C-alpha cells in the first residue's frame, strides 16, 4: 500500500494491487488510458454503487459470518474505498461481521484463514531494530497504532499472534464508526510468544513458538516500541488492546503521563459502562453514590470500570476514601477482601472487610448489590438463581454481562429478562436480539467500547493533544448518555441506537474536543464551530 500523495507515477497492475488506489471496474475510460489499465479490466465501467450491489449479493450467498468476514477482509485488501462504502452503508449489519463477535472466530482460525498480511508484526527478537522495521511501513503520516500481544483476546485467553485480527478490526472501526481517514491507521501485533500450547503445536500457526518472557523483559520490549513508534511516527497515539490484564494495567501506568496513549480495555470499557449507568440512573431517578456495585472479574476491564464509577461518585461530592465503599470486585478466587494475600496493587484499594464464601449467589445475598457487572470471561456465570436474586433485591436490577464473544457473556438478554420478570436494565458486550417478554418487545443494550474509542480517536485526530486522560473518557461517557432521549429511556434503552453511529460518534467527539480546548489540551487553534470543523475532517468513501 503506498501513500496516495505519490500515486502520480504509478501505472498498471501496481495500481490495481494497491487497495487505497484501486477502483476496480470503476476506473473511467480516460483513467484506464492514462494509467496503463486498458485490457486489465473488463470493459464495463461501473459506479461505486453498482460495485456495492455486487458485494452485497456476494455476501448474501455466503453460508456464515466467518465466510462473510473472510470475503470482506479480502475486499479491504483489494479495494479500501469499496470496503468502507459497504460497511458504512449499514453499520448495524456489518459491525458484528468485521468485529465482535465474528472477529473471535477469525482470530481463533487466524493461521488457517490467512491470505494476505496487513499491518506490522514485531517480535521480541527485533527489539533493537524496531525503528528500521516500523520504517518499512510505506505511509509516514500514521496517527494511530493499535497494538496487541494477543495475550488476552476478548474472552478467548492468550492466542498470541492469532490476535492480529483485533488491532486490524479495532482500527477499521475508527473509520467505519467515526470516519477517521484509514491511511493514518496502523495495526501492530507485538509477538512476545504465547502460553497457548495448542497453538504453538499447530503447523499453521504464524507466530513465534516461544513462551512469553518475564514482566521486566516485556517492559523493556514495550519501552523500545514506544520510543521507536514516536521516533518514526511523531505525534502518534498508541491504542493498547487485549493485552494480558496485568501487562495492560502496568504499561498504562508506565506510559500514560509520558506518551499519547490509552488502553481501550481499561478506559474505553469503563467509559461505556459509565455511560450505561448514567442512563440507568436517569431511568431509576437515583444517583451513582446510592448504588452498590458488584463486579465479577477484577482484571483490566473490572479495575478500569471500578475506577471510573468512582470518578462519577466523586463528581457527586463523595470523598476519595468513601468512593471505594460502594464497589466490590470478585476474581476467580472470590471476593477481593482484606483477608486475601494475592491481590495486585490495582485490586488492593478495593479490598473490604467482608469475608464471604466464593459463591456469587451467596455474595449477592450478603452484599445486596443494585448493579451486577460481568467482565469475567465466564460464559453463563449469571445463573437463573443469581438473576432472580438481583430481581428480588431491586425493582430494576442493573445487569451488564459484558464478556465477549457471545458464548462468554455471563448471561444472555433472554435469560436476563425472563429471570428478572422483564425488570432488568440489561446490556451485553454483543448485540443480542430483541426479546419478546409477555407481549412486550425489549431491546437489550450493547455495552461495547466501540461506542467510545472511535469518538475519542476522532477527537484526538482533530485536536492533536499531547496526552489522553481519564477525564476525556468520563466526558465521553456523559456525552453518550446525553444522546439517549426520554422516549428511549422510557423504553429501557441505555445507549443511543447504533443505526446513526457516525452522527453519534461525531457528537461525542465534539464534546471531547470541546473539553480538550477548554482544558488547554488541544495543540491546534480552537475553531469557531467545533462540530462543523470536525465534520470537515471526516473520511468519505468515494473515489477521487
Ligand atoms: N464489552 C466490552 O466492551 C468489553 C468486554 N471485555 C470482556 O471482559 C472480559 C475480561 O476482560 P479483562 O478484564 O481485560 O480480562 P482480564 O484477564 O484482565 O481479567 C479477567 C478477570 O476475570 C476473573 N475471572 C476469570 N474467571 C473467573 C470466574 N470463573 N469467576 C470470577 N472471576 C473470574 C479473572 O480472575 P483471575 O485473574 O484470578 O484469573 C480476572 O480478574 C473479556 O471477556 C472481554 O471480552 C473487555 C473489554 C471490553
Ligand atoms: C470489546 C473488547 O475490547 C473486548 O472484549 O476485549
Ligand atoms: Mg478489547
pLDDT at 9 (0 to 100) = 75
Contact by Cβ (8 Å): 81, 52:
no
DSSP string, 345-390: TTTGGG-BS----S-HHHHHHHH--SEEEE-SS-TT-S-HHHHHHH
* Closest residue by CA, ligand 2 atom 3: 265
Which of 168, 173, 241 has most ligand 2 atoms within 8 Å of its beta carbon, as the pocket-test mutant?
Answer: 241
**Which residues does the annotation place in the binding site?**
152, 241-242, 265, 404, 448
Q: Does the CB atom of residue 301 touch ligand 1 within 6 A? A: yes
Sequence-distant (6+) residues with CB within 8 A of 419 are: 384, 387, 388, 391, 411
CA of 153 relative to ligand 3 center, distance in Å: 7
What is the CA(484)–ligand 3 centre distance, in A?
A: 24
pTM: 0.97
Q: Grid coordinates representing 150?
A: 494477543
Ligand 2 neighbours, Cβ below 6 Å, are: 100, 154, 242, 264-265, 404, 429, 448-449
CA 476 to chain centre: 14
Whether ipTM exceeds 0.85: yes
Domain boundary assignment for the chain? 3-79, 97-259, 267-448
**Ligand 2: distance of its center to the CA of 404 in Å?**
6
Question: Looking at residue 8, what is its pLDDT?
Answer: 58
Fold of the domain built from segment(s) 3-79? Hemocyanin, N-terminal domain (1.20.1370)
DSSP string, 469-500: -HHHHHHHHHHHHTTS-HHHHHTT--S--GGG
**CA atoms of 66 and 72, how far apart (whole Å):** 10
Ligand nearest to the Cα of 152, by number: 1
- DSSP designation for 264: I
Distance, in Å, from the CA atom of 64 to the CA atom of 385, rounded to the nearest integer, reads: 34
- Among residues 23, 85, 124, 170, which one is catalytic? 170
pLDDT of residue 199: 97
The best mutation among 306, 307, 377, 382 to test binding of ligand 1, ranked by most ligand atoms within 8 Å of the C-beta, falls on: 377
Q: pLDDT per position in the chain (544 positions), as tens?
A: 555 445 557 889 999 999 999 999 999 999 999 999 999 999 999 999 999 999 999 999 999 999 999 999 999 999 999 999 999 999 999 999 999 999 999 999 999 999 999 999 999 999 999 999 999 999 999 999 999 999 999 999 999 999 999 999 999 999 999 999 999 999 999 999 999 999 999 999 999 999 999 999 999 999 999 999 999 999 999 999 999 999 999 999 999 999 999 999 999 999 999 999 999 999 999 999 999 999 999 999 999 999 999 999 999 999 999 999 999 999 999 999 999 999 999 999 999 999 999 999 999 999 999 999 999 999 999 999 999 999 999 999 999 999 999 999 999 999 999 999 999 999 999 999 999 999 999 999 999 999 999 999 999 999 999 999 999 999 999 999 999 999 999 888 999 988 899 999 999 999 999 999 999 999 999 999 999 999 999 999 999 8
Mutate to test the pocket of ligand 1, among 195, 249, 276, 301 (most ligand atoms within 8 A of CB): 301
Question: Would you call 99 a catalytic residue per the annotation?
Answer: yes
Query: What's the pLDDT at 371?
Result: 98
Closest C-alpha among 110, 243, 154, 32 to residue 449: 154
**Is the beta carbon of 298 within 6 A of some atom in ligand 1?**
yes
Q: Do domains 97-259 and 267-448 have the same CATH topology?
A: yes
Which residue among 69, 84, 99, 205 is the active-site one? 99
Establish whether residue 300 lines the binding site of ligand 1, counting it when its CB lies within 6 angstroms of any ligand atom: yes
Ligand 2 center–CA 431 separation, angstroms: 13
Residue 391 has phi, psi (to 5 degrees) of -75, -30
Among protein residues, the one whose CA lies closest to atom 5 of ligand 2: 154
Q: Establish how many alpha carbons lie within 13 A of residue 50's alpha carbon, considering only the half-sphere containing its beta carbon.
A: 9
Tell me the C-alpha to C-alpha distance, in Å, between residue 492 and each of 282, 389, 403, 446: 10, 20, 21, 13
**What pLDDT does 1 receive?**
58
Instruction: Say what the pLDDT of residue 544 is.
Output: 84
| 170 annotated active-site | yes
Domain 97-259 has CATH 3.40.50.10380: yes
485 C-alpha vs ligand 3 centroid, how far in Å? 28
Fold of the 267-448 domain: Rossmann fold (3.40.50)
Amino acid at each position: 500500500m503506498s501513500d496516495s500523495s505519490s500515486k502520480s507515477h504509478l501505472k498498471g497492475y501496481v495500481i490495481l494491487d494497491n487497495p487505497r488506489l484501486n477502483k476496480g471496474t470503476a476506473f473511467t475510460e480516460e483513467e484506464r488510458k492514462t494509467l496503463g489499465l486498458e485490457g486489465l479490466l473488463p470493459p464495463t465501467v461501473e459506479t461505486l454503487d453498482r460495485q456495492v450491489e455486487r458485494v452485497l449479493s456476494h455476501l448474501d450467498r455466503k453460508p456464515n459470518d466467518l465466510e462473510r468476514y473472510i470475503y470482506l477482509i479480502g475486499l479491504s485488501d483489494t479495494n479500501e474505498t469499496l470496503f468502507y462504502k459497504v460497511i458504512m452503508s449499514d453499520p448495524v449489519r456489518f459491525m458484528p461481521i468485521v468485529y465482535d463477535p465474528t472477529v473471535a472466530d477469525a482470530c481463533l482460525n487466524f493461521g488457517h484463514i490467512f491470505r494476505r498480511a496487513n499491518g506490522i508484526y514485531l517480535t521480541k527478537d527485533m527489539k533493537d531494530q524496531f525503528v528500521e522495521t516500523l520504517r518499512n511501513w510505506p505511509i509516514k503520516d500514521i496517527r494511530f497504532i493499535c497494538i496487541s500481544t494477543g495475550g488476552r483476546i476478548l474472552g478467548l485467553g492468550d492466542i498470541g499472534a492469532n490476535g492480529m485480527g483485533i488491532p486490524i478490526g479495532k482500527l477499521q472501526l475508527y473509520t467505519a464508526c467515526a470516519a477517521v481517514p484509514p491511511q493514518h491507521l496502523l495495526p501492530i501485533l507485538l509477538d512476545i510468544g504465547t502460553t497457548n500450547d495448542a497453538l504453538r503445536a499447530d503447523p499453521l500457526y504464524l507466530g513465534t513458538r516461544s513462551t512469553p518472557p518475564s514482566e521486566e523483559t516485556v517492559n523493556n520490549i514495550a519501552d523500545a516500541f514506544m520510543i521507536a513508534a514516536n521516533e518514526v511516527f511523531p505525534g502518534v497515539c498508541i491504542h493498547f488492546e487485549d493485552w494480558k490484564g496485568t501487562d495492560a494495567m502496568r504499561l498504562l501506568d508506565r506510559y500514560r503521563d509520558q506518551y499519547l496513549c490509552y488502553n481501550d480495555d481499561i478506559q474505553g470499557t469503563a467509559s461505556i459502562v459509565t455511560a450505561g449507568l448514567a442512563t440507568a440512573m436517569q431511568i431509576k431517578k437515583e444517583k451513582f453514590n446510592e448504588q452498590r456495585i458488584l463486579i465479577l472479574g477484577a482484571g483490566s476491564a473490572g479495575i478500569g470500570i471500578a475506577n471510573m464509577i468512582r470518578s462519577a461518585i466523586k463528581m457527586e461530592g463523595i470523598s476519595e476514601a468513601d468512593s471505594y465503599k460502594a464497589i466490590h470486585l470478585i476474581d476467580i478466587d472470590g471476593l477481593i477482601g482484606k483477608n486475601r494475600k494475592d491481590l495486585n496493587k490495582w485490586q488492593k484499594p478495593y479490598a473490604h472487610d467482608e469475608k464471604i464464601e466464593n459463591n456469587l449467589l451467596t455474595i449477592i445475598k450478603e452484599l445486596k448489590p443494585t448493579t451486577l457487572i460481568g467482565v469475567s470471561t465466564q460464559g453463563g456465570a449469571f445463573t437463573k438463581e443469581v438473576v432472580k436474586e438481583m430481581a428480588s433485591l431491586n425493582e430494576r436490577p442493573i445487569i451488564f454481562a459484558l464478556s465477549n464473544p457471545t458464548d462468554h457473556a455471563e448471561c444472555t438478554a433472554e435469560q436476563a429478562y425472563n429471570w428478572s420478570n422483564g425488570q432488568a436494565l440489561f446490556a451485553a458486550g454483543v448485540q443480542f436480539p430483541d426479546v419478546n417478554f409477555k407481549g412486550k418487545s425489549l431491546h437489550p443494550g450493547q455495552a461495547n467500547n466501540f461506542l467510545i474509542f472511535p469518538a475519542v480517536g476522532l477527537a484526538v485526530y482533530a485536536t492533536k493533544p499531547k496526552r489522553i486522560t481519564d477525564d476525556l473518557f468520563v466526558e465521553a461517557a456523559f456525552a453518550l448518555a446525553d444522546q439517549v432521549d426520554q422516549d428511549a429511556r422510557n423504553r429501557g434503552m441505555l445507549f443511543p441506537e447504533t443505526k446513526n453511529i457516525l452522527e453519534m460518534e461525531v457528537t461525542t467527539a465534539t464534546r471531547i474536543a470541546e473539553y480538550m480546548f477548554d482544558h488547554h489540551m488541544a495543540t491546534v487553534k480552537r475553531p469557531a464551530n467545533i462540530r462543523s470543523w470536525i465534520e470537515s475532517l471526516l473520511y468519505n468513501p468515494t473515489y477521487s
